[in-house]
Structure 1
Amino acid sequence: MNEPRIASLQRVTGETDISVTVSLDGTGAASVDTGIGFFDHMLTALAKHGMIDLDIVAKGDLHIDFHHTVEDTGIALGQAIGRALGDKRGVRRFGSALVPLDEALAEVVVDLSGRPFLAWSVEFPASTVGEMDTELFEEFFRAFAMAAMMTLHVTKKTGRNCHHIAESAFKATARALRMAVEYDPRAAGAIPSTKGIL
């Protein structure tokens, strides 16, 4: 359980070229360049508050729109976290967090279940934040959850400002994920499932 949990991968399609490196036992250091300023801000917050070292370089067809870059970054990041987790031996598996940002409050619950699912209950009062379409946040989280093989529930409890709503959701995801991937000192290296596999 003491070996570093680090993974790197590159995802190349006709629409995007994305390189990701994650360290689950990091300090929250982040180097993120997707070409989408607000998205970079959110991914940096995910790293910082999840205590996950994160290096992402994404080149996508931004001249069309941001959809492919956001979705494919979610896929690549989820796959990298899944690889870094390995068989998930000794981790807590579940994590949850309520995180406020001024008037906004988000609740996130994570289960490293091996069964990918996103329950998304977040509404935005406007269609964009910065240059980013707010509908793309759901696309990111869905791609992320599916690729990481996790169950992820994201719920907006309250909020009026799109920036605050998005940031509270990312920070809550970070805190819940941090809890879920942590080693449980009482687990004695066991896989946290009655099935013996996740």
Structure 2
Amino acid sequence: MYFNSKGQEENTYDAIVIGSGISGGWAAKELCEKGLKTLVLERGRMVKHGDYPTAMKEPWEFKYRDATIPAEELKDYEKQNRTGYTMRESTKHWWVKDTEHPYTEVKRFDWIRGYHVGGRSLLWGRHSYRWSDLDFEANARDGFGVDWPIRYNDIEPWYDYVEQFAGIQGQAEGLPHLPDGKFQPPMALN
């Protein structure tokens, strides 16, 4: 792909990835590792160490004990707040304001967004769960929707691949509805 920005130096790329979140970031990683010259376009800002202003604050140090933000302010985050857990004093600076970045819904669609380098990969809360066959077969069991064309065994090697790269920590629990991963040892408590 040929890219020329306002007559400046011409650049050619094998691939252009839009967004540096978990999907775009992973796509760029794989393309680069295969030797392709890859351009990543990101609309968000670079996140620096100082961009975590609430990281060392305890819940009781927030005006509302980090339980919520005022109703008047929540109006700016109508869709971002639909999860019920995203909009807190300690995290609101990571999410876009729906009043500034609206999108149209024909029927409800929760597009939870944070415009910064790394996207939602910075917002995963250190939780990483695998889907089980119970998830992939739910449509067939309850008779609603379209059945998944794949099963857990089809993607298990890919779960392993990503977890090993990302360094997912945890311990094997042997729960059929929550398959065990290729875990690094859990972090030590301090």
TM-score range, shorter chain: under 0.3
Whose strand proportion is higher, 1 or 2? Answer: 1
Larger Rg: 2
Q: Which has the higher contact order (CA 8 A, sep 6+)?
A: 1
Q: TM-score, normalised by structure 2?
A: 0.23
